[in-house]
Amino acid sequence: MRDIIVSLIIVGLFPACFRRPFVGLCVFTWLAYMRIQDLTYGFAKDQRWSYYVAILMFAGYFLSPNRRRFFRPDWRCYLMMFLALWIGVGVLLSKGTNFIQVNAYLEFVKIIAIALFTTGMVYNRERLRILLWVIALSLGFYGVKTGIGGIVSLGAPVLVGPGGLLADNNDFSMAMAMAVPMLFQLGMVERRPELKRTFWFAVPLTVLTVGLTRSRGGFLAVSAALGVLVWRSRNRLLGILVGLFVVIAALAVAPKDYKERLQTIKHPTEEGSAASRLRAWGIATRMAVDNPFFGVGFTKFRQHYLDRDYNPRPTAYELSGKGRIVAHSSYFQMWAECGSVSLLIYLILMGSSLWTCWSVRREARRRYYSSWIINYATLFEGSMVAFMVGATFLNRAHFDLFYQWVALIVSFGAIARAEMRDEVTYPTRLGARGAIRNVRHTGFRPVGVGSGKLRPRGA
């Protein structure tokens, strides 16, 4: 019955995906992050729903007589296209190119295409809000579901994610860490109390979900995300005190084995899993130095891991083939497999995204006492910082959400700056936040920019 219901819902959305490509993008995003098909047990679970939605979405876009540009003419969009092209050349030049490698590369191209399409479809505040809701609620669903399950089971660990790009517990943990700023800041923006409470209800359960995965990378990622939220809060001192209270309370109720696992972060060379990460990073560095332009080949880190040039003294465990051989870091994975140019582009995408958040936020704070722009800047910054910290320890250089997040930040920057330039619809409110606070106490509000006129709030 569940398979039939899910299938009818998705198939029923097909016509809308074709007629309105933005609806198709929302459905595609929903299927990617909520993975509703993985909540079934029969025929619906194995269907390629995202593939069908993508075909209808792109077909509807290209057949539309009034279509907009496929992507926003931003330099980061061109940079993502160049990254896909550069990695593709590396695939052709790598030794022993095979079908598995080509198929993985085509999946990466699909990720870039969706990211580019996102910049083209998200061209106003309402569309940005809708797509953020889809992502936040999709991830928040699993945050609430898993968090409540963890409470009922008294802290039973979560060793696997729901499926797809969230199948691994470490990937699942990083996505949940990225969801925390989304849920909190979307709650801040919402005016309706019931929606605000719904978003905020999901935040502690999502943080708990990160802990249930037992992922140390996830712990550091969610800590970084919470740190951004505290630092960007209006009352920073109160935010720091609340943050410290939450940390102390969380550590007090955390299981003993989890606290012992977190203690290994202090001494990485003395713990097997952490030590293997350091070893993998060293081998990845030798691969990158020996192949500086295109790396050893997309997805070929494992294949070259035992090469004597890179790993002169392999351990018995590595030779047995039982372990999962990965770079244990998105940065080292990108560097070793795709070369220094790809790593540089990867870092530029991250750095430029943060710069957009900072610059837009700074301009919005100069103009407004409060604004959705300020909240969204914190939302994007917190989630990006969470990814950057989590990516240090997780092998997810081609994580779907990262590239779509870069695309959304590109759209957010353009939309926010366009709104701030529109002084007629969105006039500057005397600039300084302190001045506005004083105006509010008197019961008056400003009329326009630099006019010096005040009038009662009800006027």
Using one digit for the tens of pLDDT, what is the confidence trace for 376-412? 999 999 999 999 999 998 888 889 999 999 999 999 9
Is the pLDDT score of 157 beyond 50?
yes
Residue 307 phi, psi dihedral angles, 5° rounding: -60, 135
- pLDDT score at 431: 46
Distance CA 41, CA 37 (A): 9
Question: Nearest to residue 101, comparing CAs of 337, 366, 422, 375?
Answer: 337
Of 42 and 199, more confident: 199
- pLDDT score at 258: 65
Is the pLDDT score of 70 beyond 80?
yes
What tokens appear for 142 in the block?
A: 């699993």
Query: What average pLDDT does the segment 298-324 reach?
Result: 79
Bridge partners (DSSP) listed for residue 455: 445
Average pLDDT, the chain: 85
Query: What average pLDDT does the segment 338-363 reach?
Result: 96
Q: What is the percent of the chain with per-residue pLDDT over 70, rounded to a whole number?
A: 85
Of 371 and 314, more confident: 371
Query: What average pLDDT does the segment 231-247 reach?
Result: 76
Whether 225 contacts 385, CB under 8 Å: yes
- pLDDT score at 264: 64
Burial class (CB in 10 A: 0-12, 13-18, 19+), 363: middle
Question: Any idea which of 116-120, 330-334, 367-371, 409-413 has the lowest mean pLDDT?
Answer: 367-371
Is the pLDDT score of 271 beyond 70?
no
Is the pLDDT score of 459 beyond 70?
no
Of 444 and 268, more confident: 268
End-to-end CA distance of the chain: 57
What pLDDT, in 10s, does the model give residues 83-96?
A: 999 999 999 988 88
- pLDDT score at 453: 42
Is the pLDDT score of 153 beyond 50?
yes
Of 134 and 276, more confident: 134
What pLDDT, in 10s, does the model give residues 201-234?
A: 999 899 989 888 888 888 899 999 999 998 888 7
- pLDDT score at 274: 64
What tokens appear for 390 in the block?
A: 């989590």
Distance CA 149, CA 162 (A): 13
- pLDDT score at 454: 40
Of 382 and 156, more confident: 382
Query: What average pLDDT does the segment 361-380 reach?
Result: 90
Is the pLDDT score of 79 beyond 90?
yes
What tokens appear for 320 in the block?
A: 């047995």
* Residue whose entry in the numeric block shows the structure tokens 């004083």: 438
Is the pLDDT score of 239 beyond 80?
no
